[in-house]
Amino acid sequence: MRTVERCFSWRRWMAFAAGLCVAAALAGCSAMALQTADDSLHVRLASLGPTDVIILGEQHDAPEHQQLERKAVTLLADRGELQALVIEMAEQGRSTEGLRWFATEGEVQQALGWDEQAWPWFAYGPAIIKAVRAGVPVYGGNLPRAGLPAAMADASLDALLDADALKLQQQAIRDGHCQSLPESQITPMARVQIARDRAMAQAVARAVRPGRPVLLVTGAGHADLRLGVARHLPKNLRVRTVKLWATGTQPGTEPMPRGFDDVWRTYPLPQQDYCARITARQQL
């Protein structure tokens, strides 16, 4: 399990520097492009319609995705339309409730039990601090690390997805680990993902109040309507999911992602051979 956890953390960090380099290289046009995204963000959010929950599913190593999340928090909070911010990047049970709006970044990190090795604060901190400054509570949604062993052994989690969704989840585990995991680990690791989805759904459901949406920031796999967080939310809630999608260099050549209410395209990331790096690390 330690090996898998290290793999998750490493992959989250991997392309941040590369993504930032691309942003710098495109400085002449990126400012204009990001301004266009800013101008249309309120339209994108409005197009989701009245909703209780908005789930933004990011690619963790795409800096532009964290920028869009910050802008979404800013837009909703400034208009008084954000009930709460729930994040995968902190554990369930952690929150900024009780903190004053002018709390320091250190106080916010302490309240959330921030793990800098897993989640770089420079990427997610701006959105979190914006929420705090606006008086919007921030809640951790992820399954606590101490709960991982129990989740891996909990066969009852398998029944929370139908057969097709469970197969999708298990295949996502294989693909996400470049087919390198022993087959005996696929079911336990899929249970961890299901447990994480359920934990985030519980945090979201507790935060919901009529009239203003709760915003969940998480990985795109957790945002997938077919197998993710939405499957574990109360059926009476209105939920909209968005995939933040770093498209390839030739738009139109990749199939549109399935399992989301909307897809927001962003700049492509540099080509990365994740699987080759994983294999190299395993051979050390």
The Cα 191–Cα 149 span in angstroms is 10
Q: Does 278 reside within a domain?
A: yes
Distances (CA, A) of 198 to 157, 194, 230, 242, 268: 9, 6, 9, 18, 31
Residue 257 has what pLDDT?
86
The Cα 170–Cα 281 span in angstroms is 23
Residue 275 has what pLDDT?
84
Residue 180 has what pLDDT?
87
Cα dihedral sign for 230, 242, 200, 134?
Answer: negative
Residue 78 has what pLDDT?
96
CA atoms within 13 A on the CB side of 260: 23
The Cα 126–Cα 109 span in angstroms is 12
Digit-coded pLDDT (tens) for 170-182: 999 999 889 889 9
User: Phi/psi class of residue 236: alpha, beta or left (left: φ > 0; alpha: ψ in -120 to 50)?
Assistant: alpha
Contact 95, 141 (CB under 8 A): no
Alpha helices in the chain (DSSP H): 2-14, 16-25, 27-47, 63-78, 105-112, 121-133, 148-153, 163-176, 186-207, 220-223, 274-282
Q: How many structural domains are present in the chain?
A: 1
Residue 282 has what pLDDT?
58
The Cα 146–Cα 124 span in angstroms is 23
Q: Does 43 reside within a domain?
A: no
The Cα 1–Cα 7 span in angstroms is 10
Residue 16 has what pLDDT?
45
Q: Does 33 reside within a domain?
A: no
Q: Does 52 reside within a domain?
A: no
Q: Does 42 reside within a domain?
A: no
Which residue range(s) make up the domain with 177? Answer: 2-24+59-282
Residue 278 has what pLDDT?
63
Closest alpha carbon to 205 in 177, 243, 232: 232
Residue 241 has what pLDDT?
97
> pLDDT below 50 — which residues of the chain?
1-11, 13-38, 249
Q: Does 69 reside within a domain?
A: yes
Sequence-distant (≥ 6) Cβ neighbours of residue 152 within 8 angstroms: 1, 188, 189, 191, 192
The Cα 2–Cα 19 span in angstroms is 27
Residue 269 has what pLDDT?
86
Q: Does 41 reside within a domain?
A: no
Digit-coded pLDDT (tens) for 106-134: 999 999 999 999 999 999 999 999 999 99
258 token code pair: 């399935």
29 backbone dihedrals φ, ψ, rounded to 5° = -115, -20
Closest alpha carbon to 215 in 197, 241, 245: 241
Contact 218, 55 (CB under 8 A): yes
Q: Does 45 reside within a domain?
A: no
